[in-house]
Amino acid sequence: MSEWITQSPGITIAIIALVSATIAATITALLAPLINSWVKRREDNRKEKRELIASWRRLVGDLAAFASATGVTDVTERLITRPDFLNLEPHMEISLRSGITIEPVLSIGPKMAKPLDALTQEINRIEKKWRL
């Protein structure tokens, strides 16, 4: 039988092609689910991060609206007790984290209270870091 294979180069090529295709199909069948789960996990992670950024921006907007509606310029106490801030805090730089919870708050004209400006900049920094 081996003489028959060696004497027919077309059959040898066909057998090599069949073996190669079988190996390729097996590798694809094994790797496809892994690649799909990696892609889905990555998409879910990005979606979760986008939702966090949106909730943090809403937090800043809500506090700014509260400050302008009530005339209260010190929103620090309201800020540090909000669940959205508690989610944001671990991602913040340490210097900003301690500055928001300790420094007094100043409001100058129509600008937001100082921590809100700092929070907005920090949220922008995190968004860029996460490449969203």
Q: Is the pLDDT of residue 99 over 80?
A: no
As given in the structure block, the two tokens for residue 87 are 């989610």
Domain ranges of the chain: 2-130
Q: Does residue 63 have a pLDDT over 90?
A: no
Distance of CA 55 to the CA centre of its chain: 13
More confident residue, 79 or 108: 79
**Other C-beta atoms within 10 Å of 62: how many?**
15
| 34 band by pLDDT with thresholds 50, 70 and 90 | very high
Higher-scoring residue by pLDDT: 72, 128: 128
Average pLDDT over residues 37-52: 95
Q: How far apart are CA 18 and CA 9, in angstroms?
A: 14
70/31 Cα distance (integer angstroms): 58
Q: Which residues contact 123 (CB under 8 A, 6 or more apart)?
A: 53, 56, 57, 60, 88
Q: With residue 71 as reference, give the H or E element that holds it.
A: none
Q: Is the pLDDT of residue 106 over 90?
A: no
SS3 per residue for the chain: CHHHHHHCHHHHHHHHHHHHHHHHHHHHHHHHHHHHHHHHHHHHHHHHHHHHHHHHHHHHHHHHHHHHHHCCCCCHHHHHCCHHHHHHHHHCCHHHHHHHHHCCCCCCCCCCCHHHHHHHHHHHHHHHHHCC
Asked which of 2-6, 34-38, 57-61, 75-79 is least confident by mean pLDDT, the reply is 2-6
